[in-house]
Structure 1
């Protein structure tokens, strides 16, 4: 199983439609004992939350967000956690709005400046 998402900061690699998450949106993930949650904001999103579960490399969660225009929206997402060769994490997502029509796929990746450092023990 890939490493924990706890404390990792991820961002979309591409913009979605207006009023949705985009490259300026930042997700801060938390994970504990199979539970996953995150706060996110940036771009068209003033404040967002997601909450769900993790089994192995599969995340299943619901999300809700407040947009800059004062509207709210919610949906469901299933993501696959992929560990990149440089140690960062990518989430490959399939999502569907529940509060409005629409569905799609997206990719979010851990930001380099926030990547969890890998500590290599040094020989004495």
Structure 2
């Protein structure tokens, strides 16, 4: 299934807020890449020292697993499914449903495209 929305390749995203059981916050930055349905990103900021996600995109749905190192020196991992939409101002948004696999907890969150300054 093809999407009418553009590739995530080369785009930067930031969380809208900090989820209750999450570690990312508006200071976290995700650098996305996409190639032929494969999606990956590196991220850091807030409580996250370094994170990486890898997955696939089918249409406007991105399904990925993530692993990250937090400031306390702990590594954690989880699974996320995100739906890509376009905001009224033209930027892209990913509405996420996620769950930790390495510890208890799950939630929803959103990241929005950060335009170059």
Give the Å deviation of 1:47. 0.1
Unaligned ranges ≥5, structure 1: 115-124
Q: Following the alignment from structure 1 to structure 2, what is the Cα–Cα distance between the partners of residues 74 and 7?
A: 24
TM norm structure 1 = 0.88
Q: Evaluate the alpha carbon distance shift between residue 19 and residue 108 of structure 1 in structure 2; reply closer, same or farther with a 3 A threshold.
A: closer
Q: Following the alignment from structure 1 to structure 2, what is the Cα–Cα distance between the partners of residues 62 and 10?
A: 17
Match of 1:20 in 2: 23
CA-based RMSD of the aligned residues comes to 1.3
Runs (4+) of structure 1 exceeding 6 A deviation are: none
Give the alignment of 1:1-124 within 5 angstroms.
1=3, 2-17=5-20, 20-113=23-116
Larger radius of gyration: 1
Q: Following the alignment from structure 1 to structure 2, what is the Cα–Cα distance between the partners of residues 105 and 57?
A: 17
Q: Evaluate the alpha carbon distance shift between residue 19 and residue 102 of structure 1 in structure 2; reply closer, same or farther with a 3 A threshold.
A: closer
TM norm structure 2 = 0.93
